Structure 1
């Protein structure tokens, strides 16, 4: 008897039951939702409720390299924090209202053990010419400071392949440090290369050396005549290795170009900021229906141009996944390139100017 397909009729009769056919069609289209509208479309999509922000307090602060501080963040009541996996990041709301993403660099060793979930660790390099978030952290976040955060999210997941090469450029060590510990726990064939301008700029150098000196390679540019090539970095890869890379754009480009000729077979990476625009066309954005029109060059993002006119425009990841810079589109045909907005949100006028563009000569009118 074939049980994979239900009978057409409630009682197994060969003909369809009209009432239950109508009831099934109705149920497929509508469903009651407690606490919401009486009838809700798309019942197969889970009913979503906004996730409450985490309230955190800075419990420790220490210098881990030149211009790099590490902060430990905990629940003010001392309770456990949500579990996370290597590669995850926190979206912090700083006291000024700025929102910034920072990779977790602690050890998620045992998510089931509350003792391992009592604090999040992040490390931040001071960037005087950046967007202000790192300077605020260095100048104002001391033990006792409270701030809010979104629960950890992961866009750079560690798959724990049998052989891995971890490549870090400067502060790019933060998401890779938990991956090293995970690789050790799982008995993987792993190697780590950590590069930077000079030895004093390499965060967690002593902590890394203590893990396994034979597998950790620290390289200072000023001791080797400049940054390493992609081939030099990938020469440390075990045969068939998966490469995890986090660092500045030139480092990522060098590794990508040298990958095919290396022993490695795959590449996972995370950028410090937005990828360079390589296939853009010049277009324009207008601030309101009657506002000024600003040209957006082919090699710049609309967010960069908008922030020159409106320095207070919020932003965070600049890569199209956090949604902080969202604006409303009043007119024009955009080329959405984000990884966050649903088709419904886009149709309603939502736009992320950090990555979205338009065809050559097009003008996007924004509600600003």
Structure 2
């Protein structure tokens, strides 16, 4: 087994953290653990919040990022599920293997609080906390799945029961939004994409969007969504914006429709009057990634439908801080990846 590894760690800086790249001793797997050589990792908005110190205390020296993919390079003495050479991805919540979510799983979420993530070229993972990478995907593509793709999957399929003929509204063109678009298209639903960039709107149409709306030039986008749907509204909404977009999402929702509450791009805290939700018999589900079992089901779906993740830019480990800066700039279309 390798003696050392390259790793990124978070160091306190100006009320938040900065990324420091170091070399340290390579970990060794315990009896039921697997040593994974991480080939690629991807960034989520959560990672930016962790870096900024906006999600609570972070242990000094924490390894950030939850989403990665790589190959097994060593296994513990009692491991039965994996062999050296297998292509795998760690799950976001290490202990949420199957069944309903429990609050006790939260502290074990990779890359936050006190739990190290995957911005290292070697990590140790419990054997039950890994899933097989879908056939046909590169390590870079597979590294986008554990949080962004699985969040969209749980929102639309597990909880939302999206079906052919439904109408989905997605906000923006980041990872969750584009995975939502691709999953909905594969299921035969039609998707409306909100974006302030006409160039991104055109790319979304090529990816399968049914319609797009520029929310800058059309600030009352809820009115436009209802016009596009003949006054009915969207049956499903991936609510990614947070408090500043939620009221318009409510007004965009069809009777009996479903809002998947996911994002906090515009901040934290409720500002909405939910009486409309009651009046139209709508539902809201809080979505927080998914289990290992959900991950495996999603991977089978991605393989069946030939869905390929959309990657905007790829950075080397030495340029990982630039990857965070790119994410903060909001110019990306799809996912930002770090190649280790």
- Greater radius of gyration (CA): 1
Scaled by the length of structure 1, the TM-score of the pair is 0.35
> Normalization by structure 2: what TM-score?
0.37
